[in-house]
Structure 1
Amino acid sequence: MIDVIDLRAGPILHGVSFHLPAGQVLALVGGSGSGKTTTGLALLGEHPPGVEVTGTVRVAGHPVGPGRPPAPGTVGFVPQHPSAVLNPVRRIGAVLREIAARHGTSVEPALRRASLPADRAFLRRYPHQLSGGQQQRLVVAQALLGEPSVIVADEPTTGQDPLTRDEVVGELAKLVRQGISIVLLSHDLDVVRALADHVVVLREGRVVEAGPAASVLDEPRDDYTRSLVAARPRLDEATERDLAPAARLEVTDLVARHGGRVALHGVSLRAAAGECLAVVGRSGSGKTTLARCLAGLHTPDSGSVRLDGRALAPSLRRRSRADLAAVQYVFQDARASFDPHGTVLDQVSRTAVRLRGMSPGQATAAALETLAEVDLPPGTARRRPGELSGGELQRAALARALLAEPDVLICDEITSGLDTLTQATVLDHLRRLARRRGLTLVVISHDLGVVARLADHVAVVADGRLADHGPAAQVLRRTVLTAREEEPQP
């Protein structure tokens, strides 16, 4: 059971209150910077640096606050990105046994509850040898080793393909049936609808609406809640647009490997100036490998990438400054792409110094203008990355890439951590930029609603091969029908 009464964290939260019984799910939704993460941290007895927290937080009947964390194991935490808590250089089994020894529990039951194997072969793997869904379930297993009463899940399905997302939702629902309470921080209203018993809508640190999930999502009373629900991208937004005859970006017979495994098998694609090519497929299908080959971050075994008819060097190190600026990459994990010690503004403006030859003063002015285009004010831009929300950092990463004035912009799941309103703003901005600047967009996404809203044409990648390709509306119809046929029958 959790009681949060009059939680005040400086200007971040203003009188947030809720109560969650055992074995139920409460979802906190709202825009980036609305206070969701601060509230989740309060349940762990933590808070951002420089923040003073007042009010009362009780977890499982015990008061929690700064310097007074919950008893070990009482609250488990599932982060947005598993890489934040999984040690890349240690085998899975060694880490799990170490955590289990601390709590006096066993590894095998925790893995079983998280629907993971417990055999020796699995325990000897490293995190990078797991799929995205397996990594997320491994984080759940680590949390379960403490036998928690409560799990705080921060965007646990971000960046997952629909099938993997459904698997994670199913695992969390199973934990709820075992009596565990879950506080879900999420921008994905479909996940909220599938899991939550109660919803609290936050805006600028205040509760604007709260109540049963079905009531809040289906019959919202507050204008802001209505706008969040209405802004969700829909599949029926896809339009019939033919491919332009002249290609700016051409990929021909691309073959790439990861170690001894072939990740791409002779993939060929093209996209014109001002168009958006969306690349979709399950986790591990080869989407990101394809994107990294386009940017020169992964050297292919064979094949070519051409820009305006001119072959690009396969490796980033061999590309000229003009070619580096011409193809820009916005990563899914924006936080990992920023230095935690420098300000966001300094790091964004550096792009204009290095790739456009601007003076530091000119670069700062250009950076502030571009950041304003993605709704990041100067005060926010002058903070360090750790002081920004995930959605704010994602927009900063987009501004950094746009500042290079690229011909091709590769966006890898960049809207997955954004609330629906911010997501709609970013998508509309990208669409306008593509038309106005003649920018070619390559969008990697699992969200077919986002794809429908943005893409002119869609490529479906499966097991490293091009499974389908064509106008967005046609391919999406075929993709949805195929997914329905593959759904397990009751």
Structure 2
Amino acid sequence: MNLVAEVRDLRVDIGGRAIVDGVSLAAHAGSVTAVIGPSGSGKTTTGLALLGEYPAGAVVDGEVHTPAGPVGYIPQHPASVLNPARRVGALLADIAARQGGDRLARRRRVEEALRLAQLPDPESVLRRFPHQLSGGQQQRVVLAQALLLGARVIVADEPTTGQDALTKRGVVAELAAVAAQGIAVILLSHDLDVVRELADEVVVMRAGRVVDRGPASSVLEGLEPGRLGTARTPRPRGPLRLETRNLTARHLATRGAPEVLSDIAVSVAAGECLALVGRSGSGKTTLGRCMAGLHRAYQGTVLLDGTPMPRSLRSRRRAELAAVQYVFQDAKAAFDEHRPVLDQVARTAVRLCGAAPEEARRTALSTLGEFGLDESLAARRPGELSGGELQRAALARALLARPQVLICDEITSGLDTATRTTILDALARLRERVDLSLVFITHDLAAAAALADQIAVLDSGRIVEAGPASELIETPQHPLTKELLSAPLTALPGGPPGC
């Protein structure tokens, strides 16, 4: 096969610590190479090396060759590479213009890229700003950018993060189609379903080193992907902690914007977990943001303990800010890159709970420790932590506000099985210990089954089914719920490249 990119004996040191140590990797035209391993194993650092990008202050040794030309990159946190001040249509038009042609030809290339990226309702998406898109929609816009660039190598860093099973199937199909066009794909992923479906070769990393490599069939043998477990046993509902009534929302700054949520009524009781599930773009994140005061363009009411909450975060009192905390899907964007993580986590207790700085620091260290982050990790800046480590730090920071309600937006997306289990177990313990209420926004029905008491399924901004988690998972009624529960990747026609 034609070699289009190669990494040889790569070593990347930060502060005397090797985050990548002696890694070699080859990308061949039309082939998919998957790099797997736990959070912090060095996957993203290795992938970014193909673009010539390294963490600040890194000392680099080894060789990187990309003789075939430009390398496209689909990051785990897509908002980080989308200009927030420009509409999606303008962003894509700029890239299409580099390829030449008249306006009509450029428009057709953009439309084709959006179609191949499996982005529904592209006309609506082109009019929006990046912050008006769900995480899954942002991911597919970035995929469209990479396709428009004409790269011969695409590094896809957790490209199915935050996506439901149906949308994930579409992204897998597109990456397979990309490889079929002779483009090399480097897939960085924790999702063994996706890896099993797509990869020709698998490279396994741990603690910055390659510990196994070979054909996907042999390396993945015995590694089983996560499956849907048994739903929690229902328990009596306590008093309602957070609820919405007749909530209808639109996006700001979009002329003639359609409703993204319509007449939503959901509730979560004290000590209960409500899971919001549905396809990417169904309105899950917008609903969570309305609850948290992060999206004020809505009619209807959000109530905390029966009292209406101000729509805007800026209008909420300190006690109200502390009571409802939001953990973002893009943990990296939620941290100041110039300050140590520990300082930022501790600051929450000082600002919202009036804690003394030393007391806040002790509490921060204890909470971070519950999520597997010791003091040496916490003392680093955000850029020195992996995505999974930052996600755990973001969760700890929110908990230092001593919230009554914690809204978690796809916080288990893109995490390896061990890290995902650590987070879910910690949340389950917190619910029992401090009577914490959770709103759990997820495409991961296995996680919803493990954690949720109630589930609400959204589609096109409406609740199409809701009820106790055990009933909804065992006897779903709505066609979408049934489809989400029975959407294996193996249903894709044609199989992975090379079959």
* TM superposition score category, shorter chain reference: 0.7 to 0.9
| C-alpha deviation, 1:121, in angstroms | 6.2
Please give the residue correspondences for 1:220-299 in structure 2 after superposition, counting only pairs within 5 Å.
Answer: 229=224, 233-259=226-252, 260-299=257-296
CA distance in 1, matches of 2:165, 2:147: 24
Question: Could you say which residue in structure 1 is the equivalent of 2:19?
Answer: 12
* Residues 353 and 401 in structure 2, CA contact (< 8 A), matched pair in contact too: yes
Question: Could you say which residue in structure 2 is the equivalent of 1:41?
Answer: 48
| C-alpha deviation, 1:404, in angstroms | 0.9
Question: Could you say which residue in structure 2 is the equivalent of 1:83?
Answer: 79
**TM-score in terms of structure 2 length:** 0.85
Question: Could you say which residue in structure 2 is the equivalent of 1:174?
Answer: 177
- Change in Cα spacing, 1:234 to 1:273, as seen in structure 2 (3 Å) is farther
* Residues 133 and 281 in structure 2, CA contact (< 8 A), matched pair in contact too: no
CA displacement 1:321-354 (0-9 Å, x = unmatched): 2221111110111111111222211111111111
- Change in Cα spacing, 1:85 to 1:283, as seen in structure 2 (3 Å) is same
Secondary structure at the residue paired with 1:5?
strand
CA displacement 1:194-221 (0-9 Å, x = unmatched): 21111111111112222222222233xx
Q: Do residues 466 (structure 1) and 463 (structure 2) align?
A: yes
CA distance in 2, matches of 1:447, 1:102: 38
Secondary structure at the residue paired with 1:208?
strand
**Matching residue's letter, 2:70:** T
CA distance in 2, matches of 1:180, 1:110: 19
CA distance in 2, matches of 1:183, 1:126: 29
Question: Could you say which residue in structure 1 is the equivalent of 2:375?
Answer: 378
Q: Do residues 481 (structure 1) and 488 (structure 2) align?
A: no
| C-alpha deviation, 1:86, in angstroms | 2.2
**Matching residue's letter, 1:18:** L
Partner of residue 413 from structure 1, selected from 406, 410, 415: 410
**Matching residue's letter, 2:211:** V
| C-alpha deviation, 1:315, in angstroms | 3.0
- Change in Cα spacing, 1:233 to 1:436, as seen in structure 2 (3 Å) is farther
CA distance in 2, matches of 1:303, 1:447: 28
| C-alpha deviation, 1:45, in angstroms | 2.2
**Matching residue's letter, 1:156:** P
CA displacement 1:11-45 (0-9 Å, x = unmatched): 11222223333211111111111100111122122
| C-alpha deviation, 1:373, in angstroms | 1.2
CA displacement 1:122-165 (0-9 Å, x = unmatched): 89634436665554343233323443221111111211222222
**Matching residue's letter, 1:75:** V
CA distance in 2, matches of 1:110, 1:317: 38
* Residues 276 and 441 in structure 1, CA contact (< 8 A), matched pair in contact too: yes
| C-alpha deviation, 1:358, in angstroms | 1.1
| C-alpha deviation, 1:91, in angstroms | 4.6
Question: Could you say which residue in structure 1 is the equivalent of 2:315?
Answer: 318
CA distance in 2, matches of 1:271, 1:346: 32
| C-alpha deviation, 1:5, in angstroms | 2.7
**Matching residue's letter, 2:277:** V
Question: Could you say which residue in structure 2 is the equivalent of 1:141?
Answer: 144
**TM-score in terms of structure 1 length:** 0.87
**Matching residue's letter, 2:304:** L
- Change in Cα spacing, 1:233 to 1:408, as seen in structure 2 (3 Å) is farther
CA distance in 2, matches of 1:240, 1:199: 38
* Residues 233 and 453 in structure 1, CA contact (< 8 A), matched pair in contact too: no
**Matching residue's letter, 1:281:** G
| C-alpha deviation, 1:489, in angstroms | 10
CA distance in 2, matches of 1:116, 1:387: 34
Question: Could you say which residue in structure 1 is the equivalent of 2:112?
Answer: 112
Partner of residue 24 from structure 1, selected from 2, 17, 31: 31
| C-alpha deviation, 1:180, in angstroms | 0.8
Which ranges in structure 2 are unaligned for 5 or more consecutive residues?
Answer: 494-499
CA distance in 2, matches of 1:369, 1:485: 40
* Residues 234 and 452 in structure 1, CA contact (< 8 A), matched pair in contact too: no
Structure 1 window deviating more from structure 2 (47-56 vs 248-257): it is: 248-257
CA distance in 1, matches of 2:164, 2:170: 10
CA displacement 1:68-114 (0-9 Å, x = unmatched): xxx7x432212223322222333555544544555668744475355
Q: Do residues 202 (structure 1) and 205 (structure 2) align?
A: yes
Structure 1 window deviating more from structure 2 (159-168 vs 322-331): it is: 159-168
Over aligned residue pairs, what C-alpha RMSD do you find? 2.9
Please give the residue correspondences for 1:54-69 in structure 2 after superposition, counting only pairs within 5 Å.
Answer: 54-60=61-67
* Residues 111 and 138 in structure 1, CA contact (< 8 A), matched pair in contact too: no
Q: Do residues 156 (structure 1) and 153 (structure 2) align?
A: no
Which ranges in structure 1 are unaligned for 5 or more consecutive residues?
Answer: 61-70, 220-225
Please give the residue correspondences for 1:89-128 in structure 2 after superposition, counting only pairs within 5 Å.
Answer: 89-92=85-88, 94-100=90-96, 102=98, 107=106, 108-109=108-109, 112=112, 115=115, 125-128=127-130
CA displacement 1:228-259 (0-9 Å, x = unmatched): x4xx5432331341441432333333333334
CA distance in 1, matches of 2:122, 2:268: 46
Partner of residue 386 from structure 2, selected from 386, 389, 399: 389
CA distance in 2, matches of 1:486, 1:35: 31
Secondary structure at the residue paired with 2:310?
coil
Secondary structure at the residue paired with 1:45?
coil
- Change in Cα spacing, 1:253 to 1:347, as seen in structure 2 (3 Å) is same
CA distance in 1, matches of 2:125, 2:283: 25
**Matching residue's letter, 1:112:** E
**Matching residue's letter, 2:389:** E
Question: Could you say which residue in structure 1 is the equivalent of 2:216?
Answer: 213
Question: Could you say which residue in structure 2 is the equivalent of 1:360?
Answer: 357
- Change in Cα spacing, 1:27 to 1:458, as seen in structure 2 (3 Å) is same
